[in-house]
Structures are given as structure tokens and as C-alpha cells.
């Protein structure tokens, strides 16, 4: 059997692409090796979003070349082949982002399979929606990312995703639902819905319906998430652009259909900076939306991300962001210093902010948010929460779990004492006994059944 090594870098969306490539490799009869020494060829799925990610990707390609020799590069950085070839001229092949077919074409060329009488009978992973297909997952068994669309119709001035991935292309609802049903049937307890902009899902398809479980389901976020919730797993939404439909999503959260968690990247609070970013809104409109959402769903946990040091950002803009955060009291906040990405329109804007100034602004924003996060978590001490168990902790009986307010990898955890019978993927009810800046601690009250399709997460 021919062996292929695989290196996966980047965001959850890139992780899903890696899973698709690995699934197709397996479906065609390639073995996946976790060591360079055993692999006959290495595929590196790269990230090219910010300068640090480009450097990390180029280093990973260099390491794969050094350790192995035959390397196929794919992913976001693959959209800029000249940059890769300038540093690594010996790369065997380069394909673009989400190009499963391109990777397979190059792997077949460089590492042809010896076909036998039976290999033609192997099923193809491109037969999407077939529950019997073995899908390769890079996340633990109990949660999975579900990519519903690729590309983006917005043109934020700091972002090169639309130029790399093109305008939005959504999957049919039935295609997404068959994949989700298969994941749930094989043990997935939490579906993490992702896209560049989940709110716009289906617009490119004019929301055309497709058939799932003998009924038509429109390619639109609301009907899609209702069906997903019916599968009996937690459904968590990421990358939700603040469109009017968010109010209806929040209503589904209030009734327990979706996790009361909204990952809504706002990027700034100053209308002036947001205009330069080619994004709508400002502190006032953000705040009125957040108030409305919280009125509908008091349990709602809001995660957002912000950029500081954007070209032209003044001290007054930073103060506006700090005031907004103080008022909004978001649960989770990611802050990034602006970094010029090759090809982004914002590179040409006047008023580039010096690096030390960006760092100073970053530190100030983080200090405010750390205080808010500490206070919000401290308020949970004494309450009872639902949590999913991600891992065993160091001491016997201790587990690392996540509440409904925490997404894997980016938010906090709940370290929890149990009677030792709790397993990874279990749903538990826990009493919160302590908190820090980012995490909670507590003790397990009981294990809960998975899961009433509609219910309370409190």
C-alpha cells in the first residue's frame, strides 16, 4: 500500500479541507502515515492568512522537504505559488485552497497506486451524503466542524479570503445534513457550523431546497440549523455576520434548539475604522443589537474578535473600542494586532500604525477584557451548568469539560471533579465552584442523557 504523510495547518475551515483530502486518499486506497520516515509523499495543507501563518507554513514545507523530499503543497498559501517556489523550488506540486481534486491528481501522478482487480470497487468519498462512507476526522470523535459554504461575498479591506477563495459557494442543505447525520451516527455529540460568513449561507443558491429525510430543506441558515438540531447533537454557530436573521437564531437559542452561543466577529467599534475596513456598524449599533439579543436569550454567550492598530486608527478610536467592550461585557474576545497581508486593500491606506503602538493598544484592550472575563466567570460560581467532557485531567476522576458558552480550542474550560465513571463525550451537569480569568472549576452533579432536541441548557 502507498503511504502518504499529511501536515494540516490553519483554521477550522482548513481542518475540514484536510479531512476531505484525507477521506479521499483513504477512499482511493492510500494509507495515511503519521511519520515522515514511513511516508512516500507528504501533503502540506497551508495557511496564508497573516504574515505569521505564511511563515509557519513555509517552515512546515521546508521541514517536510528536508525530512522527506516529495512534497505536495495545498491550501491558502497554495494560491500564491510564486511565493512558495521562491523559498522552496523543489516542491513537487502546488494546488490551491480546498482543491481536493487537484491534490488527488498530483498524488496519483507522483505516487500511482498499483491497481488490482478489486480497487475499482472502492467507493469514492466524493459520493457525499452516503452514511456508510468512512470519513476521516482530525477532531476528537465527540465534536466535528461542519463546513456549510466556502468563499465570501464581502470585501473587507484587511482580508484576502475573497481573492483566494472567491465568492461564496454554499453546499445544498441535504448535502450538509447527510454529512451531519453520518457524524452523529458515528458518535459526534457537537456540530460546529462554520463558513467564512455563516449568516449568508445559501444566498448564492437562491436558497433552493434539497431533499433530506423525505422533505425539502431550503439552503438557508434557519431551516438548516433547525434540521441539524433535530439530529440530537449540540449545534454551535461560528462566524455569524450580524445580519437581521441573527435575531431569529437567538430565538432558537432561547428555546434550546441551538446552543446559546454566538461567534460574531465585530472587528472594531469605531464607525470610522469600520468604514475603512469596509464593514458596517459601530459601537451604537453593535450595542443595540447585543441588548436585543440578550433580551431574547438571557443565557447567550457572545464571542467576538477585534483588530487593533488598523491603518488610520487614532487614540479616540481605541478609546471607543475600550468603552464599547466595557459596556458590552462580551463573554469571549479575541484581539489581533493589524498585520498587512499581501494583496489586501488596507495595505494602501494612509496612517499605518507603528508596531510598538499596536502592541500597546493590544495590551490595553486585553487588560480591559481580562477584567470583564474574570467578572463574568466569577458570576457563574454557585450556579449549575451543562458541559461536554473533552478529556481526562491529570488527577484521577478529574475531567476537562466545556460549558455551552465555550467552543473547543478558542474559549475556556471547566475543570471538573467526578466520581470517575464519566467518559469523554459525556454530557454532564456540574456545579461551578471556582473561576479564573478564562476557566471555571467545579464538580459533577450527574450525567445527563444525550439530548432532548429542545430543552434548557441552564
CB of 123 to ligand SF4, least distance (A): 34
DSSP 216: E
Alpha-carbon distance of 17 to 147, in angstroms, equals 9
Among 22, 44, 152, 444, binds ligand SF4 (CB under 6 A): 152
Stretch that binds ligand SF4, among 149-157, 297-305, 346-354, 444-452 (CB under 6 A): 149-157
307 versus 416: smaller Cβ distance to ligand SF4: 307
Pairing of strands 414-417, 398-403: antiparallel
Nearer to ligand SF4, 156 or 224 (CB): 156
In 221-248, which positions are buried (b, 16+ CB within 10 angstroms) versus exposed (e)? bebbbebbbbbebbbbbbbbbbeebbee
Asked if 417 interacts with ligand SF4 (CB under 6 A), we say: no
In the list 154, 226, 329, 431, the residue contacting ligand SF4 (rule: CB under 6 A) is: 154
Residue 133 or 148: which CB sits closer to ligand SF4? 148
Confirm or reject binding of residue 275 to ligand SF4 (CB under 6 A): no
Q: Which stretch binds ligand SF4 (CB under 6 A): 147-155, 183-191, 227-235, 359-367?
A: 147-155
Cβ 217 vs Cβ 169: under 8 Å: no
**Contact residue for ligand SF4 among 159, 264, 341, 353 (CB under 6 A):** 159
Nearest-angstrom CA–CA distance, 223 and 161:
27
Minimum CB distance to ligand SF4, residue 11 (Å): 11
- The nearest distance, CB 315 to ligand SF4, in angstroms, is 25
Question: Of 303, 309, 355, which is closest to residue 334 (Cα–Cα)?
Answer: 303
Tell whether residue 162 is a contact of ligand SF4 (CB under 6 A).
yes
Q: What CA–CA distance (Å, rounded) separates 103 from 73? A: 8
Chain residues 196-255 in contact with ligand SF4, contact rule CB under 6 A: 196-197
Residue ranges of E strands in 279-426 = 301-308, 332-337, 384-392, 398-403, 414-417
By the rule CB under 6 A, 168 interacts with ligand SF4: no
Asked if residue 428 lies in contact with residue 386, where contact means CB atoms within 8 angstroms, the answer is yes
Q: Which residue of 9, 21, 161, 365 would you call a contact of ligand SF4, by CB under 6 A?
A: 161
Using the minimum distance from each CB to ligand SF4, give the nearer residue, 137 or 279: 279
Could you tell me how many residues of this chain bind ligand SF4 (CB under 6 A)?
Answer: 9
Torsion angle of C-alpha atoms 371, 377, 379, 383, degrees rounded to 10: 180
Contact footprint for ligand SF4 (CB under 6 A): 152, 154-156, 159, 161-162, 196-197
Amino acid at each position: 500500500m502507498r503511504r502518504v504523510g499529511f501536515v494540516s495547518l490553519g483554521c477550522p475551515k482548513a481542518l475540514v479541507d484536510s479531512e476531505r483530502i484525507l477521506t479521499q486518499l483513504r477512499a482511493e486506497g492510500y494509507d495515511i502515515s503519521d511519520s515522515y520516515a514511513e511516508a512516500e509523499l507528504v501533503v502540506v495543507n497551508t495557511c496564508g492568512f497573516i504574515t505569521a501563518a505564511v511563515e509557519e507554513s513555509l517552515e512546515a514545507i521546508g521541514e517536510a522537504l528536508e525530512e522527506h523530499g516529495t512534497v505536495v503543497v495545498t491550501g491558502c498559501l497554495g494560491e500564491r505559488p510564486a511565493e512558495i517556489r521562491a523559498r522552496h523550488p523543489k516542491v513537487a506540486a502546488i494546488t490551491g485552497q480546498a482543491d481536493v481534486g487537484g491534490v488527488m491528481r498530483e498524488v496519483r501522478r507522483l505516487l500511482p497506486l498499483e491497481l488490482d482487480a478489486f480497487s475499482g470497487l472502492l467507493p469514492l468519498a466524493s459520493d457525499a451524503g452516503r452514511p456508510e462512507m468512512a470519513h476521516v476526522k482530525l477532531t476528537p470523535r465527540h465534536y466535528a466542524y461542519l463546513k456549510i459554504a466556502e468563499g465570501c461575498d464581502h470585501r473587507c479591506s484587511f482580508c484576502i479570503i475573497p481573492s483566494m477563495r472567491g465568492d461564496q459557494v454554499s453546499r445544498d442543505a441535504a448535502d450538509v445534513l447527510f454529512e451531519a447525520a453520518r457524524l452523529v451516527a458515528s458518535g459526534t455529540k457537537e456540530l460546529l457550523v462554520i463558513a467564512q460568513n455563516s449568516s449568508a449561507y445559501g444566498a448564492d443558491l437562491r436558497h433552493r431546497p434539497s431533499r433530506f429525510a423525505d422533505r425539502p430543506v431550503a439552503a438557508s441558515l434557519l431551516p438548516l440549523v433547525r434540521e441539524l438540531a433535530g439530529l440530537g447533537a449540540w449545534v454551535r454557530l461560528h462566524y455569524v455576520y450580524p445580519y437581521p436573521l441573527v435575531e431569529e437564531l437567538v430565538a432558537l437559542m432561547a428555546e434550546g434548539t441551538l446552543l446559546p452561543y454566538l461567534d460574531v466577529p465585530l472587528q472594531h467599534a469605531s464607525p470610522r475604522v469600520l468604514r475603512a475596513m469596509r464593514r458596517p456598524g459601530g459601537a451604537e449599533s453593535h450595542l443595540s443589537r447585543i441588548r436585543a439579543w440578550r433580551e431574547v436569550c438571557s443565557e447567550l454567550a457572545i464571542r467576538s474578535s477585534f483588530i487593533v492598530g488598523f491603518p488610520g486608527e487614532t487614540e479616540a478610536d481605541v478609546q471607543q473600542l475600550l468603552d464599547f467592550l466595557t459596556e458590552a461585557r462580551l463573554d469571549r474576545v479575541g484581539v489581533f494586532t493589524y498585520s498587512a497581508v499581501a494583496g489586501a486593500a488596507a495595505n494602501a491606506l494612509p496612517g499605518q500604525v507603528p508596531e510598538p503602538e499596536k502592541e500597546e493598544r493590544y495590551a490595553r484592550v486585553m487588560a480591559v477584557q481580562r477584567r470583564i472575563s474574570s467578572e463574568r466567570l466569577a458570576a457563574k460560581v454557585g450556579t449549575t451548568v451543562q458541559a461536554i467532557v473533552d478529556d481526562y485531567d491529570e488527577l484521577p476522576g478529574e475531567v476537562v469539560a466545556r460549558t455551552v458558552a465555550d467552543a473547543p480550542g478558542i474559549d475556556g474550560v471547566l475543570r471538573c471533579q467526578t466520581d470517575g465513571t464519566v467518559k469523554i463525550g459525556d454530557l454532564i451537569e456540574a456545579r461551578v465552584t471556582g473561576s479564573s480569568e478564562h476557566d471555571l472549576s467545579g464538580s459533577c452533579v450527574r450525567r445527563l442523557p444525550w439530548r432532548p432536541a429542545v430543552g434548557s441548557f441552564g
